[in-house]
Structure 1
Amino acid sequence: MNMQIVDYTASNAAELFVTSLRETGFGVLENHPIEQSLLESIYTNWQTFFNGEEKFDYVFDKEKFDGYFPMDVSETAKGSKHRDIKEFYHVYLNGRVPQQLREEIFEYYNKTSAFAAKLLSWIEEFSPKDVAQNYSQPLSEMIRDTDKTLLRVLHYPPVTGTEEVGAVRAAAHEDINLITILPAANQPGLQVKTKEGEWMDVPCNFGNLIINIGDMLQEASSGYFPSTSHRVINPAGANSKESRISLPLFLHPRGDVVLSERYTADTYLSERLQELGMKK
């Protein structure tokens, strides 16, 4: 199975994109409106931040979950025995961000959030009627005025060989939210699990925009759109000496949005954070 790269400017882009999401849980867009110059600047500036000591002035708030998460408190994926090999910074709309990084990171946050609303409208447009009728409100409306959307600035450090045996940059997991928008990182490594149980590389040419379904949309669509397992494998050869910066934007609905008869967005998020060991 090959993952099709969809030209955002094509007349049938919406249909092709949603078909890919249905079949693989992932869609890849090229010629999208998120500027590469902005991404390049963010990658460079946040690499400098992670390389320095200032990050320790922004250690995460245990109530708000904004700020810097060091390597030793990194996530342990559900079912995994090892922490991921990564450090990261949580950016929320009303969260703490170093002053010199604020302007461009919030420019990216706001532009990509607005773009996500359009992609959600595509998903709703091409949802079968029996699926769409169970959405408690239009998908794009679920994220209107939300303060739950999370931008995670991820830093995967070079692999030194001293890592815990069995640990990887990001163990196999599914995302919690509605959809995730991820510009191709500055290093390869992202893989998705196929229906046949095999691992497939996600096209990561710089300039691609990668979108995947999260558990909340899987729940809201009664499983029609699959939240697919994915991972970031450890690099080999020359790439092992390189850092990897990644910018996933996790689109979360407002907390009171009804996902299904079983869950609101808030109750679903709370359950998953407990599973990840990030909430008592």
Structure 2
Amino acid sequence: MSLPIVDYTAKDAPEKFVKSLRETGFGVLTNHPIQQSMVESIYNNWQAFFNGQEKQNFAFDPEKQDGYFATEISETAKGHTQKDIKEYFHVYPWGRIPAALKEEILNYYQLASDLAGELLDWVEAYSPESISKHYSEPLSHMIKNTPNTLLRILHYPPLTGNEEVGAIRAAAHEDINLLTILPAANEPGLQVQNQDGSWLDVPSDFGNLIINIGDMLQEASAGYFPSTTHRVINPSGQANNKSRISLPLFLHPRGEVQLSAQHTQASYLLERLRELGVK
């Protein structure tokens, strides 16, 4: 089995995209409006940032959750004991961003957020009525004027051989948010878990845009759209010496949005951040 690739410009793209989300937890789009040249420039510029010392001036704020997260304080995926082998930077339009990188990354943030709103409209349009009745408001309206959507620049450093036994770049996990929007990374390694427990490689060709379901959409849809279990495995051979950069946009509703009878966005997020050990 392989993940279907959907042409964003095709008339039947919305239906095919939502069908793929429902069946695999992932949608892969080609011919989408995010420019490859912009993504490659971001990867190159932020690789230089992670290679330098300026990142130490942006140490993360435990309350606001913006800024730079070093490898030693990286996430531990729910149900795991080893920390992921990664460092990352959290971008919010209201947060701290290196001046030289700010304009480009915020342009990307806006473009990806606009596209994400359209994809949420697709999801709602092809949700059965028995499911859409659970949405407390239109899905794309949940993110209107939200301060919570997070753009994370992830850097998986080259492996040294001194990593903790059993640690990988990102242990199997589900995302917290509604949808995650992810341009193909500059190196392979992302895998999605199939319903039978096997793992599928997610296409890493530049030009692909990868979208997966998060826990908040699962919560809002009463489980109809299952949150996607995925991981980033360690490279082997000469690829051990290569960094990997990726750029996920985690689409979050406003804090007061009611996801279900049990949770608002704010209450759900707090619960998950505590589980991850970063709050």
User: Shift of residue 87 of structure 1?
Assistant: 0.3
Runs of 4+ in 1 over 6 A off after TM superposition: none
Q: Give the alignment's TM-score, normalised by structure 2.
A: 0.99
Task: Determine if the alignment matches structure 1 residue 218 to structure 2 residue 251.
Answer: no
Q: Determine helix, strand or coil for the equivalent of 1:181.
A: strand
Q: Determine helix, strand or coil for the equivalent of 2:224.
A: coil
Q: Determine helix, strand or coil for the equivalent of 1:64.
A: coil
User: Shift of residue 204 of structure 1?
Assistant: 1.2
In structure 2, what is the equivalent of residue 75 of structure 1?
75
Q: Unaligned regions of 5+ residues in structure 2, if any?
A: none
Deviations 1:67-94 (A, max 9, x none): 0000100000001110000000000120
In structure 2, what is the equivalent of residue 231 of structure 1?
231
Query: Does the aligned pair in 1 maintain the 2:76–2:84 contact within 8 Å?
Result: yes
Query: Does the aligned pair in 1 maintain the 2:149–2:250 contact within 8 Å?
Result: yes
- State which drifts further: 234-243 or 149-158: 234-243
CA distance in 1 between counterparts of 2:204 and 2:227 reads 19
User: Shift of residue 135 of structure 1?
Assistant: 0.4
Q: Give the alignment's TM-score, normalised by structure 1.
A: 0.99
Q: Unaligned regions of 5+ residues in structure 1, if any?
A: none
Q: Percent identity?
A: 66
Deviations 1:119-167 (A, max 9, x none): 0000000000000111000000000000000000000001121111100
Task: Determine if the alignment matches structure 1 residue 190 to structure 2 residue 174.
Answer: no
In structure 1, what is the equivalent of residue 152 of structure 2?
152
Aligned residue type for 1:176: I
User: Shift of residue 63 of structure 1?
Assistant: 1.2
In structure 2, what is the equivalent of residue 24 of structure 1?
24
Q: Determine helix, strand or coil for the equivalent of 2:266.
A: helix
CA distance in 2 between counterparts of 1:194 and 1:270 reads 28
Query: Does the aligned pair in 1 maintain the 2:148–2:254 contact within 8 Å?
Result: yes
In structure 1, what is the equivalent of residue 162 of structure 2?
162
Q: How does 1:52-71 map to 2 (within 5 A)?
A: 52-71=52-71
Deviations 1:34-82 (A, max 9, x none): 0111101100000000000000011011111100000100000001110
CA distance in 2 between counterparts of 1:51 and 1:29 reads 31
CA distance in 2 between counterparts of 1:277 and 1:160 reads 25
C-alpha root-mean-square deviation of aligned residues, in Å?
0.5
In structure 2, what is the equivalent of residue 143 of structure 1?
143
CA distance in 1 between counterparts of 2:206 and 2:239 reads 16
CA distance in 1 between counterparts of 2:187 and 2:160 reads 16
Q: How many residues are matched?
A: 279
In structure 1, what is the equivalent of residue 46 of structure 2?
46
CA distance in 2 between counterparts of 1:21 and 1:61 reads 34
Q: Determine helix, strand or coil for the equivalent of 2:15.
A: helix
